[in-house]
Structure 1
Amino acid sequence: MTYVSRERAAGPTRRSALAGLVGGAGAAMAAGCTPSGASPAAAPTPSRSPGATAPAANPTPGAMTLFKDPAYNFGGLMALGGAGFGAGEVGEVLTAVNTINKAGLSSQTYVETFKKLGDQLMEAPEGSKPDDQTKRFRALRAAQYYAQALFFVLGSDDPGSEEQLYKAGRGAWDTFCGLCDPAPVKANVPYGKTPLPVWFFRPDGADTRRPTVILTNGSDGQNVDMWTYGVPAALDRGWNALVYDGPGQGQLLFVDRVVFSPTWEKVVTPLVDWLVARPDVDPKKIALTGLSMAGDLAPRAAAFETRIAALVAMPGCVEPWLGFPAEIREILTPSKEETNNIWNKEVVPELPPAAAATMKKRFEPFSIPAMLDAREGKLFTDFYTPATRIQALTITDVVGRITSPTLVLDYDDEQFYPGQPRQMYDKLTSPKDYVKLTAAQGAQLHCSPMAPQLHCEVVFDWLQETLSGS
């Protein structure tokens, strides 16, 4: 891990770009993130040098390579990493991996295998009558496996089952939450025409005012990921934790059909309003974290919502559009008509199936027509609208407005946003820290999928120290 101490403080031609897109940009796009365990890892000792650690030649050597395709491998590693917080079981995941590889890796075999595993866990185990704790953690693991299937369903033989598969995962999550003690407070927080579903976790039912963390998901994560990346870590430290679906996420995307918003402060402000009205929340100790693409969303919110007392970007991201390969970005021109002509006449006819499936997945949170087309097995025809929505998420001009202390995380072999965490850190004028998680710790890749326990230790040690004097 690389640690920086606190401070206060010409592209390719279109022809070559399209050739690159057809020749393999789909694989490059897919290389990044989507979605009772081991003993917690020892907290790392930070190095106070600003230099970056050299990444390994192979980011997933040896046993870390579950699948030859990096996108599927990333999903498998996320499922394995969740085991440390009960959101997965090592034996179940590795058995699923073997089953998929034996059948031949594809979206279809991946979806079938993980959905079947989720279905099995939502049924009673053979030979015994499960108690509530067994039901609870079986439901949590089921939520993980349904999320794994959901991520690749648009490339399967039944893309139209996406909403049904989401609801299966949501049902498993709600079952898990209902069996927690205490169960999280469920509510709908007003937001435009479509309220935000929230799950408010507390260490106990007392009205003691406590620090609270708002956990913000990325562009394709599910609620179970927020469990892995924050809820138990918060509860174990006597904090509250708020999980929510924002526009472009979870229920708002798959059911209510609301796409991402570039003004994320309008999402976070009603959440803060809801929290400060509660007797069990310390209004001066509300932290905000953002995982994956939310490393852009959460900082955007903190730039305008001044009640955020501490911010963590995991990783720091200032321009999500750069998370797409140049071959994709080159399609977009200032003209909607020209852009869509290039897309439909020059790109789509030559797009390999795997790349097409990836495009469907990456663009659906930004375009309901694209999502609905994908569920019918079709590729969207309007490239311009979702692409410009992704461009609108750029926050380079507002990072300097952030006043709250901020932790920026980075990772060896960061696939989506290489270099962007450092860019965010450099633009910050508030008290700030930069931490890089490394391959030497097994914490490489976007969001450290193999090391969420270590990830949480770094984040919550920093939050505890930062808010201890607030």
Structure 2
Amino acid sequence: MTHETNTPATGTARRSLLTAGAGAVLATGCSRLAPASDRQGGPSATATTQGADLTPGAMTLFDDPSYNFNGLLALGASGAGAAEVGEVLTAVNAINRAGMSAQSYVTTFSRLGDRLMAPPEGGEPDGQTTRFRALRAAQYYGQALFFVLGSDTPGDEERLYKAGRAAWDRFCSLCEPPPVTDRVPYGNTPLPVWFFRPDGSGERRPTVILTNGSDGQNVDMWTYGVPAALNRGWNALVYDGPGQGQLLFVDQVTFTPTWEKVVAPLIDWLSRRQDVDTRKIALTGLSMAGDLVPRAAAFEPRLAAAVAMPGCVEPWRGFPPEIRQILRPGKAETNEIWNKEVVPNLPEADAATMKKRFEPFSVPAMLAARQGKIFTDFYTPARAVQALTITDVVSRIRTPMLVLDYEGEQFYPGQPRELYDKLTSPKDYVKLTAAEGAQLHCSPMAPQLHCEVVFDWLQETL
């Protein structure tokens, strides 16, 4: 782990690319695990090479690094009770025996979720058994949900989301005390929230708002923050924002670049509660939310601290340069390139990757994907991703900020350091490493260590 602290006083031609085959481009730069180009624009290692280097031996559950990364996330969640090592490894063996594919992955994990939502054989479960079976079911439904667009049944996406949500809600209802639930006003679509407290005493406490990324589910916020907060006497607020959870899969609301307008009503809601110390409200952001959180901090002065996990200033750079080159100034030209030169050359697996990566930014893209089709309008969601760039607002941040980085960061290499260097507020930089088993985007194998770093910093900062 490397740690820095600072408290300041005040390419290739498009035509040749496309004739080489878009599938090869996606295989090296657009899968779940694949690296983007670095911030100097130079090439990174391929996904296969990087995955093999950083997930040796027992860390290689699947040969395909994108599936392997998801499997490691499930395995890592075991420490928080959001998975079971034996269940995950049994599912991995079953998938490998059946032949690694989106279909085998989705079928295996969704059936595991179904089994856990049913009573166990041989007896009546007590509340704790039912509670944690539901939490694990939420994890496994989330695993199936991630790859469903590449399966034989892409239309199951909303059903799988709702199954995972039902499991999460059952888990929450059996917590002691159960989280306070509400719908916080936001535009035309309120934000569902779950407010966890260590107890029902009403004591005024510091509070962390946990922000998910572009494809995480509520169960991930449990793994990456809720128990860590409660065990330290903090409150924790989990929510679905635009492009996430219920707002995406049911309400069909996509990401917004003005995340401060999402955070502000959450702080308003918290500020009306007697058990919240309004001087000590922190905001964390996992995965792509490492871009959303700094944006919110730049415009929301009521935050006492913020954590980007990892830091990100331009999510668009998370796509390989060859894909970014498709985007032209004009919509018509861009979409002609996409539909006539790229889409016809996309292998099935790579098409599924593109569907998944663009659905949080385009309702038509999501609905087409559920019908087994790839979107025809590349221009609109690409511009929506571009709009998340925050390089011009980082200098506005006055909130103390922790920026996390990871050895082998696949999606935003170089960007955590770039965010840290641009910050003029009190700041810290921590890089988690393979020597600790905490490598790769969001440290999938070490969420407990991840939470220790984050909450030790929050405790010290506040």
Q: TM-score if structure 2 supplies the norm length?
A: 0.95
Contact preservation (8 Å) 2:22, 2:345: no
Partner of 2:177: 182
Partner of 1:3: 3
Partner of 2:121: 126
Contact preservation (8 Å) 1:20, 1:327: no
- Please tell me the root mean square deviation across aligned C-alpha atoms, in Å: 1.1
Offset, 1:391: 0.1
Partner of 2:426: 431
Pick one of 370, 373, 382 that aligns with 1:375: 370
CA–CA distance in 1 between the matches of 2:388 and 2:415? 14
Partner of 2:44: none
Contact preservation (8 Å) 1:146, 1:169: yes
Partner of 2:269: 274
User: 1:63-212 to 2 correspondence within 5 Å?
Assistant: 63-212=58-207
Relative to structure 1, the CA distance from residue 27 to residue 358 in structure 2 (aligned partners, 3 Å threshold; closer, same or farther) is: farther
Offset, 1:363: 0.3
Offset, 1:116: 0.3
Contact preservation (8 Å) 2:107, 2:144: yes
Partner of 1:360: 355
CA–CA distance in 2 between the matches of 1:119 and 1:324? 35
Partner of 2:287: 292
Partner of 1:332: 327
SS in 1 for 2:193: strand
Matched, 1:315 2:310: yes
Question: Structure 1 vs Structure 2: percent identity of aligned residues?
Answer: 76
Offset, 1:128: 1.2
What is the total number of aligned residue pairs between the two structures?
445
CA–CA distance in 2 between the matches of 1:287 and 1:397? 23
Q: Alpha-carbon deviations, 1:132-156, whole Å to 9, x = none?
A: 0000000000000000000000000
Q: TM-score if structure 1 supplies the norm length?
A: 0.93
Contact preservation (8 Å) 1:17, 1:330: no
Matched, 1:399 2:394: yes
Offset, 1:16: 3.4
CA–CA distance in 1 between the matches of 2:319 and 2:387? 14
Offset, 1:5: 2.1
Contact preservation (8 Å) 2:254, 2:360: yes
Offset, 1:22: 2.6
Partner of 2:29: 28
Relative to structure 1, the CA distance from residue 57 to residue 66 in structure 2 (aligned partners, 3 Å threshold; closer, same or farther) is: closer
CA–CA distance in 2 between the matches of 1:27 and 1:69? 12
SS in 1 for 2:146: helix
CA–CA distance in 1 between the matches of 2:32 and 2:361? 20
SS in 1 for 2:253: coil
User: 1:216-231 to 2 correspondence within 5 Å?
Assistant: 216-231=211-226
Pick one of 304, 314, 322 that aligns with 2:299: 304
Contact preservation (8 Å) 2:8, 2:425: yes
Offset, 1:28: 2.7
Q: Alpha-carbon deviations, 1:417-441, whole Å to 9, x = none?
A: 0000000000000000000000000
CA–CA distance in 1 between the matches of 2:260 and 2:14? 36
Partner of 2:43: none
CA–CA distance in 1 between the matches of 2:151 and 2:28? 17
Aligned amino acid, residue 347 of structure 1? V
Offset, 1:310: 0.2
Partner of 1:50: none
Aligned amino acid, residue 444 of structure 1? Q
Offset, 1:27: 4.8
Offset, 1:13: 1.1
CA–CA distance in 2 between the matches of 1:232 and 1:6? 29
Partner of 2:411: 416
